[in-house]
A and B are shown apart, each in its own frame.
Chain A
Amino acid sequence: MNHGQPSQIGRRGLLAGAAGLSALALFPGRLSAQDTPRRGGVLRMGLGGGSTTDDFDLRKLNDWVPVNQAYMVMNGLVEIDAENIARPELFESWETGEGAGEWLFRVRQGITFHNGKTLTADDIVYSLNLHRGDSSSAARSIAAAFSDVRKVSQHEVRITLTSGNADLPYVLSDYHFLVVPEGFTDWTNPIGTGPFVPESIEPGVRARFRRNPDYWKPGCANVDTVEVIVINDIAARTNALMSGQVQVINNLDLKTVDLLARNRNLEIVRSKGGQHYTFLMDCTKAPFSDANVRLAVKHAVDRELLLKTALLGNGALGNDHPIPSSDRFFNSELPQRPYDPDKARFHLRQAGLEGLTLTLHSSDAAFPGAVDAAAIYRTTAAPAGIEVAIQREPADGYWDNVWMKAPFCMSYWGGRPTADQMLTIAYASGSAQNDTHWASADFDRLLTEARALLDDSRRREIYWELQRMIHDDGGAMIPMFGDYLDAVSVKVKGVTPHPMFNLMGARMAEKVWLD
């Protein structure tokens, strides 16, 4: 289960054409002789996170069901494997020069769409352009970094960046960057190059996909048919698995994980990704404009207790920065911040305060169990002289009305494929989603510098420093990381945890087979 430490494949080697890393690399270390994929059968998935209005519009992909279904029908450009390494998918290889500002990607050849069209650079340029410019795409801010996406030849695409980014292949693994044929707009009847062809789709209810007999990825597309049944209610989802009506469910109820684990016909799949939960302090508003107050808040939380009670142990401790231990740039030498009410009092005194009264805005929209977590924080903060009043907010409109607006509120971040992306989106001073309004010129400068570096050891140095800066000075108190939890029937084989998302990074249907 240890997918934490990425293997030390040099970044250069990776950059200079990863084509050689073929099928085996997609399943590192998990395949043994008796683990050969078997063809056939019907995979039935009961998934939460779907809606009547779902379609396959790549710009709007947001919830679990549409994202998983999109990966059944389409392919990405780059795939993040179980070891958190970017592997070639429709981009077969890539190279860049010093500064990482201009990238040349080679398009995999001999791939056909479900409608018979051959994949070329035009399709990829079109698919990327969906998210660029004046687009309503959720990936718009990521794609804004592409100053130019140009077809060089039928099988080559050049991407020019506004500023260098050595992690571009990782950035391109985002689930919005899937590929459809050039000019494609019929988002209810999707066409892709993926492992399955849609047979019938009833949005928010059920969908059936047939195996693509010409699928190109070795060892994949093993089952004949995939059936997705949308089950948003967690109890109904669990019942469906228990009674054998489905073989896979996602997003388990934390309270029933232990009970499910006792069932010998089931297996719990625990994906330790970058998903983390945050208590956000607005650094531009008093009292949080004082760094000492922020440190006091950070010392006043009993993280172990929070993890044990709010997440029932299904996660890992956070150290007030957003980089998970599975990231290759995780600062492993930064000491874990302990629960220390005296230290918190000390920092309050440094700020010239005897005590502190705060209003914490909370809602289960922030993350399941957030309101309980707020109550626990209130208890552990009291001995530090911090009095917390909890303002419970409606889940509806939480992201609109509370997040980024209330001076002290709760939130979460899903993992990002690279440290740079995580640090940029939530901590760079220019980001629209800098939810603590923290601004540090040094941080911004180092972040930009590291982004363009191809030298891994220097980059590591910088990312370690950036984590320390957020840990000491930033406005986010990050007490814990939460696991993604799925459960599968033991009849489903080839299942692995994934460092990005659950359901094997939303690619479970492509990879598994049935016993």
Chain B
Amino acid sequence: MAWLILQRLGLGVITLVLVSMLVFTGTEILPGDVAAAILGQNATPESLAALRQELGLDSGPVARYLAWASGILHGDLGQSLANRQPVGELLWPRFGNTMALAGYAAVIAVPLAVGLGISSAALRGSFFDRAANVVALATVSLPEYFLGLLLILFVSVQWGLLPSLADTWSGMGLAAWLQATTLPMLVLVLVTVAQIMRMTRTTVLAVMDQPFIETACLKGLPMGRVVLVHAVPNALGPTINVVAFNLTYLIAGVVLVETIFNYNGLGRFMVDAVSKRDVPMVQAAAMVFAAVHVVMNMLADIAAIALNPRLRHPRVKES
């Protein structure tokens, strides 16, 4: 098992190196550079040249890539080109914000979705099963910006219940924070619940058709016990995978939600950095997103291994 985990780690590191090269090349190909973005239409050849030199943009791309890559290995994400602030100082608090919102949404969404999935599997074909499926599919089919705007229109503009801006700052109380972030949390919950729920339902149902479940039923065990103790543990592997996939989305895919609610997270930060051509900030944000993907996938794999006896104790040969 340790070997499997090490293998996953190694693959993750290689993925990150490749991503860093792709990101760097991508930012190089973008038309325009940071000096032009800072000065905009006010740029004159002289002020552009002066600023480019000031920012060190006159050295070659390979040299800049190597300098940045070696910095990142030492934990230094570099400096913002536009204002010379260390990128880490700007980035980590926002990453924290994104994680906080993702955590808030996950705490609600995952138990809700898994619970709904198990219940609708247990009550297959019932009204509850159908209703839960229809509602979940409806919410996942609506794009998140549309859901967000709908919620804002009713919940904050018409009824005035919750603020439309997820306006947060360090040092605000938990109650205020929860109030500010509940609307974006709701949107995230609505778009993630369906997939987890349906995957849970499908895998639980697949297990329910197995002979050992029939045996359990025939032994006269109550239905609840059959589902929770006998079926669910065997259905956990695929469910954990889809949960991990959705958690990754909650962290790395929330650009639109952060924009609609003006939430100060990493997605908005990256959009900002791209529009300013601030290469170190774009790269750092992209690397963090890539790392989230790699780590989440790795955790899902490890969890699947840990929960699956056949992977946990691989048979060396058929006996």
Could you list which residues of chain A lie within 8 angstroms of chain B, going by C-beta atoms? 46, 51-55, 57, 60, 62, 134-141, 187-188, 200, 202-206, 229-233, 235-236, 239-240, 242-246, 394, 396-401, 403, 411, 432-433
Contact = CB atoms under 8 A, between A and B. Distances in A.
Nearest to B43: A399
Interface in B18-40: 30-33, 36, 38-40
Contacts of B46: 140, 432
Contact of A206 (B160, B169, B272): B169
A121 to B, nearest CB: 27
A441 B90 CA distance: 52
A401 B32 contact: yes
Contacts of A396: 30-32
B34 to A, nearest CB: 9
A60 B165 contact: no
Contacts of B169: 200, 202, 206
Contact of A400 (B31, B44, B264): B31
B38 A236 contact: no
B133 interface: no
Given A51-B276, A53-B276, A62-B38, A233 B262 contact: yes
Nearest to B40: A62
A202 B33 CA distance: 25
Contact of A236 (B40, B51, B261, B275): B261
Contacts of A397: 30-32, 36
What 9 A-B pairs are tightest by C-beta distance, nearest first?
A: A397-B31, A397-B32, A53-B82, A138-B42, A136-B51, A239-B164, A243-B156, A136-B50, A432-B44
Contacts of B51: 136
B7 interface: no
Q: With a 10 A CB-CB cut-off, give which of B42, B157, B275 has the most chain A CB atoms.
A: B42
A499 B16 CA distance: 52
Q: With a 10 A CB-CB cut-off, give which of A62, A231, A239, A399 has the most chain B CB atoms.
A: A239
Given A233-B260, A236-B259, A400-B32, A141 B272 contact: no
B41 A399 contact: yes
15 contacts: A51-B276, A52-B90, A53-B81, A53-B82, A136-B47, A136-B54, A137-B47, A206-B167, A206-B169, A236-B164, A243-B164, A245-B164, A396-B30, A399-B36, A403-B41
A134 B49 CA distance: 10
A271 to B, nearest CB: 19
B309 interface: no
A62 B39 contact: yes
A399 B44 CA distance: 11
Interface string B78-97: 00111101000010000000
Contacts of B41: 399, 403, 411, 433
B97 to A, nearest CB: 10
Contacts of A203: 83
Interface in B145-169: 149, 152, 156-157, 160, 163-165, 167, 169
B36 A400 contact: yes
B32 A52 contact: no
Chain A facing B: main interface SS: loop
Contacts of A204: 272
B144 interface: no
Interface string B162-192: 0111010100000000000000000000000
Contacts of B31: 394, 396-397, 400-401
B132 to A, nearest CB: 30
A229 B167 contact: yes
A200 B276 CA distance: 23
B272 A236 contact: no
Contacts, number: 134
A203 B44 CA distance: 26
Interface residues of B, number: 46
Interface of B: 30-33, 36, 38-47, 50-51, 54, 80-83, 85, 90, 149, 152, 156-157, 160, 163-165, 167, 169, 259-262, 264, 269, 272-273, 275-276, 278, 281
A188 B165 CA distance: 26
Contacts of A432: 44-46
Contacts of B259: 232-233, 236
A60 B275 CA distance: 16
A137 B48 CA distance: 9
A235 B157 CA distance: 13
Given A236-B164, A245-B165, A400-B31, 7 more contacts: A54-B83, A187-B83, A239-B149, A240-B165, A243-B160, A396-B30, A399-B32
A51 B47 contact: no
Q: With a 10 A CB-CB cut-off, give which of B32, B45, B275 has the most chain A CB atoms.
A: B32
B255 to A, nearest CB: 11
Contacts of A200: 169
Given A136-B50, A239-B157, A52 B272 contact: yes
A397 B167 CA distance: 32
A51 B272 CA distance: 6
A400 B30 CA distance: 12
A141 B42 CA distance: 9
Q: With a 10 A CB-CB cut-off, give which of A135, A240, A244, A432 has the most chain B CB atoms.
A: A240
A235 B281 contact: no
Nearest to A403: B41
Nearest to A432: B44
Contacts of B165: 46, 229, 231, 236, 239-240, 243, 245-246
B218 to A, nearest CB: 58
A62 B39 CA distance: 7
Nearest to A240: B165
A308 B156 CA distance: 33
B42 A52 contact: no
A53 B33 CA distance: 15
Contacts of A240: 164-165, 262
A138 B157 contact: no
A229 B40 CA distance: 23
B32 A141 contact: no
Nearest to B52: A136
Contacts of B33: 400
Contact of B262 (A135, A136, A236): A236
Contact of A243 (B36, B152, B273): B152
A135 B50 contact: yes
Contacts of A236: 164-165, 259-262
Contacts of B45: 432
A98 to B, nearest CB: 32
Contacts of A246: 165
A403 B46 CA distance: 17
A140 B281 contact: no
B163 A399 contact: no
Nearest to B163: A245
A187 B273 CA distance: 19
B115 to A, nearest CB: 32
Contacts of B278: 53
Nearest to A44: B167
A407 to B, nearest CB: 19
Contacts of A244: 160
Nearest to A246: B165
A497 B180 CA distance: 33
A301 to B, nearest CB: 23
Contacts of A140: 44, 46-47
B167 A245 contact: yes
